[in-house]
Amino acid sequence: MKKKLISVVVPIFNEEMGIKKFLDKELFPVLERLPYQTEIVLVDDGSWDGTLEKIRAMNTKIPMRIVVFSKNFGKEIALTAGIFYAKGDAIVMIDADGQHPAEAIPRLVEKWENGAEVVTALRGQNTTRHRLGSRIYYRLLRMMGMRNFVPGELDFRLIDRAVADEFNKFTEHNRLTRGLINWLGFKQEYIKVETKGRIGGRPTYGFKKLMALAGDSMVSMSRTPLIIFGYIGIFITVVSVIFGLFILIQQYILGDPLGLDWSGAVAMSVFVSFLVGLVLISQAITALYIAQIHIETKNRPLFVVDKKRSVGVDGDER
C-alpha cells in the first residue's frame, strides 16, 4: 500500500535571518523521520530581502515546492495558497520563524490517524509577551460576534484533505484562516505546545496589525455603523423640517403672534441643519450601495503567483 502523503505549508515573508535554520535544523529532520511520504510547500509572500535566494539554495531529499507571490498579500492569503497547492492527504501549516515547534508535527499526525480532521495546536502555559495582546485580540473578536475562536489557538495545525477541499471553495478576500477552518466544522482535536522565540528578524503582526485585522473583521461583518449615521440624518432632517415650518408659519405667515422676534440667522441655521441631515442620509445610502458592490466584487483572484520564480507550481491561480 502506498504511504499517505503529508504536506507542510509554510508562509514566509522576509525571514532571511532565520529561514535556513528553521528548515535545516527543525523542519527537515522532523519530516525525514516521519514514516510517511512528505512534501513541503513554501509560500514566499512577496519577500524583498534575501529569503527567496536562501530557500532556493536549500538542499533536501523532501520534495519541496516554492510558490512565489508577485507581491505581499499577507499571511492569511499565503496560507490559502499553500493549502491550494498542497497535494497531501493531510496538510500541516506552520510558521517559518521557529515559534511553532516542528517536533510536535508527529503528535498532530497521530491525532489525525485516530480520526480527527482538524488538529489545532494551542499555546501552552508559558508566559510570552504575546499573551496579553492575544487575550485582548480574542476578547475583541468575541465582542464582535465571532464566537468560534478558541483562545490560545495557533496557526499551527493539521487539516484533512476533506477539510482542505472545502476550504478551497472560500472566495472572500478578507479572511482569517483559523476562523474559516473553525467555521467549516469537521472533527476537531487539540494538542498543547510550548511556543518559542523567533529565530531571527522581527514579527510583522504587531499590535497595530492585529487591531487592523480586528477592524477589518468588524467592517466586513456589520453595516451597523453606516446605518446609525443614516438614522441620525433622518432625525436631524425631520427636526429641522418641523422647526422650519414652525418659523415659517409663526413668524412670516401669522406675523409673530408669540412675539419671539427671531432673526434670519435662526431660520438660516435651521436650513443648514436640514441640509446636513440630507447629506448624512444620502451618505448612508451610498455606503449601502458600496457595501453591496464590495460583496459583489469579491471574485477577484485571491493571489497572484509569479510562475517564473516559482518552483514546481503548475496549477491555476484562483
Site residues for Mg ion per CB under 5 A:
97, 99, 203
Nearer to Mg ion, 111 or 178 (CB): 178
16 is in the binding site of which of ligand UDP, Mg ion, none (Cβ under 5 to 8 A by kind)?
none
Nearer to Mg ion, 165 or 194 (CB): 194
d(CA 67, CA 89): 19
Nearer to ligand UDP, 38 or 99 (CB): 99
Q: Which of 12, 64, 109, 119 binds ligand UDP (CB under 6 A)?
A: 12
Closest separation between CB of residue 8 and Mg ion, Å?
A: 17
Write the DSSP string, 123-141.
E-S---THHHHHHHHHHHH
Q: Which cell numbers hold the place of 191?
A: 494538542
Nearer to ligand UDP, 72 or 283 (CB): 72
d(CA 128, CA 132): 9
- Position 13 contacts ligand UDP (CB under 6 A): yes
Residues of span 43-82 touching ligand UDP by CB under 6 A: 45, 72, 74-75, 78
In contact, 228 and 281? CB cutoff 8 Å: no
256 phi-psi bin (left φ>0, alpha ψ -120 to 50, beta other): left
13 is in the binding site of which of ligand UDP, Mg ion, none (Cβ under 5 to 8 A by kind)?
ligand UDP
Write the DSSP string, 238-287.
HHHHHHHHHHIIIIIIS--TT-----HHHHHHHHHHHHHHHHHHHHHHHH
Three-state SS string across 60-78, please? CCCCEEEEEECCCCCHHHH
Closest separation between CB of residue 189 and ligand UDP, Å?
A: 22
88 phi-psi bin (left φ>0, alpha ψ -120 to 50, beta other): beta
Closest separation between CB of residue 144 and ligand UDP, Å?
A: 20
Closest separation between CB of residue 15 and ligand UDP, Å?
A: 5
68 is in the binding site of which of Mg ion, ligand UDP, none (Cβ under 5 to 8 A by kind)?
none
Crossing angle of helices 224-247/264-296, nearest 10°?
160
- Position 95 contacts ligand UDP (CB under 6 A): yes
Q: Which stretch in 6-14, 165-173, 216-224, 234-242 sits in contact with ligand UDP by CB under 6 A?
A: 6-14
Nearer to ligand UDP, 15 or 26 (CB): 15
Residues of span 174-203 touching ligand UDP by CB under 6 A: 203
- Position 101 contacts ligand UDP (CB under 6 A): no
- Position 274 contacts ligand UDP (CB under 6 A): no
Q: Which cell numbers hold the place of 30?
A: 522532523
Q: Which of 149, 205, 229, 271 binds ligand UDP (CB under 6 A)?
A: 205
The CA-to-CA distance between both ends of the chain, in Å, stands at: 33
Q: Which of 6, 8, 9, 11 binds ligand UDP (CB under 6 A)?
A: 11
- Position 96 contacts ligand UDP (CB under 6 A): yes
d(CA 2, CA 15): 35
For residue 217, give every residue at least 6 positions away whose Cβ sits within 8 Å of its Cβ, in sequence order, or none.
Answer: 141, 144, 146, 174, 176
Q: What are phi and psi of 256, to 5 degrees?
A: 55, 60
Binding site residues, ligand UDP, CB under 6 A: 11-13, 15, 45, 72, 74-75, 78, 95-97, 99, 203-205
